Structure 1
Amino acid sequence: MKRIKIHWGTAIVLAFMGFIAFILSFVIRMNTQKKYDHELVTEAYYAKELSFQRDMDREKFTVDTGMEPRIEATRGGIFIYFPEGIDPAKVSGKIGLYRPSDRTMDFEVPVQMTTSPVVLIPSEALLPGRWNVEVDWQYGDDTYLSHRKLVY
């Protein structure tokens, strides 16, 4: 039986070709398979970044004035309890629910209350998993902003 000898230069070239083939297959797999999808969390990421300090000031104002809504996740859905003593009919705004893993599931709900300072987002609208809740609302001349991360 005759042995095949491989020159050391040939071995290095084969090793480099194997490494390049591995990297190329990895890159192609990451770009074509849905489970490795990598999206920005929001569409207007850079525009939202510019208003970041203003949003931070509004969140601090909300906490300092005691107007932060309480957000609870239950089997029936997500309940958002606005502060006691406010007139629910004078509240306006929106509640944004953002899914970090899939932006196609993001949605917004207008704040509409008549007698009770509570908003319910029913469980039928939610899939189990991580949600970022943003409550952006106005009462009188003041605007308030609250964020909460929760697992439903």
Structure 2
Amino acid sequence: MDWGKGIVLTIAAFVIIMISMVTICVKQDDIHLVTQNYYEEEIKYQDQIEKIINATLLEEEVLTFDTQAKIVALNLPIGAKGTLHLFRPSDARLDQKIDFDIANPAENAVNVGALKPGYWRVKLTWEDQGKAYYQEKQINI
């Protein structure tokens, strides 16, 4: 084989590899951003920092996870309102948002046993007496 055929075969192999790689990348459908409106939330991040600071100043742990019972407990006072976001970093289709309004302190737990096993982030955003709070916890189910 002469040099010309070797160069042509090398270029053809390179083109075939590149086309197959592009095809594989285009067919992937499980790529998810952390959030759909990423840039808008980035601008609002100072508010998020203030919520985190408010939550760290509280005396008790607000968000707890019982690994045996697979229950996320919210230790919030009566009248607190907010959202519990169960976030699955590997698959956004499994995410769940639960709105809550604490009216009875005995009913402040969420059973997460039905969720797909693996790594989850539990994001708790709430408001109490006009002050906003945010706390996050990583759990393994």
Contact 2:64/2:74 (8 A) holds in 1: yes
Contact 1:91/1:112 (8 A) holds in 2: yes
| Residue number in structure 1 paired with 2:44 | 51
Contact 1:75/1:123 (8 A) holds in 2: no
In 1, distance between residues paired with 2:107 and 2:121? 19
Check if 1:143 corresponds to 2:132.
yes
| Residue number in structure 1 paired with 2:93 | 104
In 1, distance between residues paired with 2:117 and 2:34? 18
**CA 1:65/1:73 → structure 2, altered by over 3 Å: closer, same or farther?**
closer
Deviations 1:77-102 (A, max 9, x none): 3322325xx3x2x1111111111111
Check if 1:128 corresponds to 2:117.
yes
Structure 2 residue identity aligned to 1:46: Y
SS of 2:101's equivalent in the other structure is: coil
In 2, distance between residues paired with 1:60 and 1:124? 30
In 2, distance between residues paired with 1:15 and 1:91? 67
Query: Matched residues, percent identical?
Result: 25
Contact 1:92/1:112 (8 A) holds in 2: yes
Deviations 1:24-54 (A, max 9, x none): 11221232145xx212121211211111122
SS of 1:111's equivalent in the other structure is: strand
| Residue number in structure 2 paired with 1:20 | 15
Check if 1:72 corresponds to 2:61.
no
- Per residue, is there more helix in 1 or in 2? 1
Q: TM-score, normalised by structure 1?
A: 0.79
Deviation of 1:8 (Å): 1.0
Unpaired stretches in structure 1, ≥5 consecutive residues? 1-5
Range moving further from structure 2, 122-131 or 53-62: 122-131
Range moving further from structure 2, 121-130 or 91-100: 121-130
Check if 1:32 corresponds to 2:21.
no
**How many pairs align?**
141
Report the RMSD for the aligned CA atoms in angstroms: 2.1
Structure 1 residue identity aligned to 2:50: D
